[in-house]
């Protein structure tokens, strides 16, 4: 008697599990795009998808929220993902030997050559905007203390709490130790956290200063002020589409499909698009497709 009851209870559970398994192995996409955890990379991935599906016969899938750019790169190396958006400053993340130059053109060149040589990736030309690190404070604090550039906070550094993403403290060339050396600044307390949380943390006065990403719309929404990098410490971070070279060889039409985006997105456009997702709560796909339509880039 008991057993029969158990069987009836287990049936729906098995059904749910089966449904989940079969849906996961549904339509085979020939191209999979990986994205980082922040909105911008998801919007751009939706743009690639819309353009590729519009102009070629390929199916595109997206795997969102990979924890870090290094994870994205490793997933591409394993061929779990074939395409992503990466930033030229990525070369400072211990992937291969670099010259250490911070010149914009030179860093792009090293990224393109290095990833071709060591990873067999094709690093296409930049989309047209940089998403760099930006030291940011609340506007009222900046106004009352007269902060305009990073050097200005040095006098108050011991009393300040810094919020940063989970990676920056460990980065060798453009991370905290190198920054402290360049500016002579060490903050009183440092809280590493998920990047999406730093904006509300500084707005809610949980921390005094945060290292934000420059194209994040929440800088505007929460009334935050970016301090000028007066010692030009941070390297360039030009966003580019990156693909596995073997995929491009097999399907050169992908590069033609996304070509209209190259050099087409400037920082203000990107901030506005991020704003529509992060603040106005629209979906990444909706925002990406609307933008492409408005620019006349979608055929269908």
Partner 1 sequence: MNAFWSFITERYPDILKALQEHLVLSFSAVILGTIIAVPIGILLVYNRVGWINSAVFFIANLFQTVPSLALLAILIPLLGIGMKPAILALLLYSLMPILRNTYDGFRSVDKGVLSSAQGMGYSTAQTILKIQLPLSLPYIMSGIRITTVYIISWATLASLIGAGGLGQLIVSGLGVNKPEMIFIGGIGAILLALIADGLLGLLEGWLGRRYHQTRESAV
Interface with partner 1 by CB under 8 A: which residues? 67-71, 73-74, 93-95, 163, 165-167, 169-172, 175, 191-194, 197, 200-201, 204, 206-207
Beta-sheet pairing, 239-244 with 121-123 = antiparallel
Which is nearer to partner 1, 203 or 298 (by Cβ)?
A: 203
235 neighbors 29 (Cβ within 8 angstroms):
no
* 134's tokens: 């930006």
* 43's tokens: 């919007």
Closest approach, Cβ 289 to partner 1, in A, equals: 28
Q: Tell me if residue 161 falls in helix, strand or coil.
A: strand
Closest approach, Cβ 69 to partner 1, in A, equals: 8
49 neighbors 33 (Cβ within 8 angstroms):
yes
Which is nearer to partner 1, 99 or 172 (by Cβ)?
A: 172
Angle between helices 104-119 and 69-77 (to 10 degrees): 40
The 10 Å Cβ neighbour count of residue 33 is: 28
Which is nearer to partner 1, 197 or 298 (by Cβ)?
A: 197
Burial code (b: 16+ CB inside 10 Å, e: under 16) for 82-98 equals bbbbbbbbbbbbebeeb
Which is nearer to partner 1, 177 or 184 (by Cβ)?
A: 177
Between CA 20 and CA 220 the distance in angstroms is 40
Which is nearer to partner 1, 221 or 259 (by Cβ)?
A: 221
Tell me the C-alpha to C-alpha distance, in Å, between residue 39 and each of 11, 93, 132, 244, 254. 39, 21, 15, 23, 23
Between CA 183 and CA 197 the distance in angstroms is 26
Closest approach, Cβ 268 to partner 1, in A, equals: 28
Please give the backbone phi and psi of residue 278, each rounded to the nearest 5 degrees, phi first.
-75, -35
Closest approach, Cβ 198 to partner 1, in A, equals: 9
53 neighbors 59 (Cβ within 8 angstroms):
yes
Which is nearer to partner 1, 180 or 295 (by Cβ)?
A: 180
Which is nearer to partner 1, 194 or 246 (by Cβ)?
A: 194
Closest approach, Cβ 53 to partner 1, in A, equals: 31
Which is nearer to partner 1, 191 or 233 (by Cβ)?
A: 191
Closest approach, Cβ 73 to partner 1, in A, equals: 8
Closest approach, Cβ 179 to partner 1, in A, equals: 15
Closest approach, Cβ 84 to partner 1, in A, equals: 15
Closest CA to 267 of 65, 39, 35, 40: 40
Closest CA to 179 of 231, 238, 102: 231
């Amino acid at each position: 008697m008991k057993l029969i009851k158990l069987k009836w209870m287990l049936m729906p559970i098995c059904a749910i599990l089966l449904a989940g398994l079969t849906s996961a192995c549904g339509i085979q996409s020939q191209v999979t795009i990986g994205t980082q955890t922040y909105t911008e990379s998801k919007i751009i991935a939706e743009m690639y998808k819309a353009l590729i599906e519009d102009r070629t016969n390929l199916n595109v899938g997206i795997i969102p929220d990979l924890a870090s750019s290094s994870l994205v790169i490793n997933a591409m190396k394993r061929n779990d993902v074939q395409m992503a958006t990466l930033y030229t400053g990525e070369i400072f993340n211990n992937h291969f030997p670099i010259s250490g130059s911070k010149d914009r053109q030179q860093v792009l060149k090293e990224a393109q050559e290095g990833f071709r040589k060591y990873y067999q990736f094709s690093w296409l030309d930049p989309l047209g905007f940089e998403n760099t690190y930006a030291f940011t404070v609340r506007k009222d604090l900046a106004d009352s203390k007269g902060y305009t550039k990073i050097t200005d906070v040095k006098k108050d550094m011991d009393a300040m709490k810094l919020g940063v993403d989970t990676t920056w403290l460990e980065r060798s060339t453009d991370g905290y130790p190198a920054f402290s050396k360049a500016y002579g600044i060490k903050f009183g307390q440092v809280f590493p956290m998920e990047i999406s949380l730093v904006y509300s943390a500084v707005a809610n006065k949980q921390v005094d200063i945060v290292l934000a990403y420059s194209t994040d719309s929440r800088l505007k929404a929460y009334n935050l002020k970016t301090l000028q990098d007066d010692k030009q410490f941070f390297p360039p971070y030009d966003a580019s589409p990156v693909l596995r070279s073997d995929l491009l060889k097999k399907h050169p039409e992908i590069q033609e499909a996304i070509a209209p985006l190259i050099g087409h997105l400037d920082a203000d456009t990107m901030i506005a698009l991020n704003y529509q997702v992060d603040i106005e709560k629209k979906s990444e796909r909706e925002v990406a497709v609307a933008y492409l339509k408005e620019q006349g880039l979608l055929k269908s």
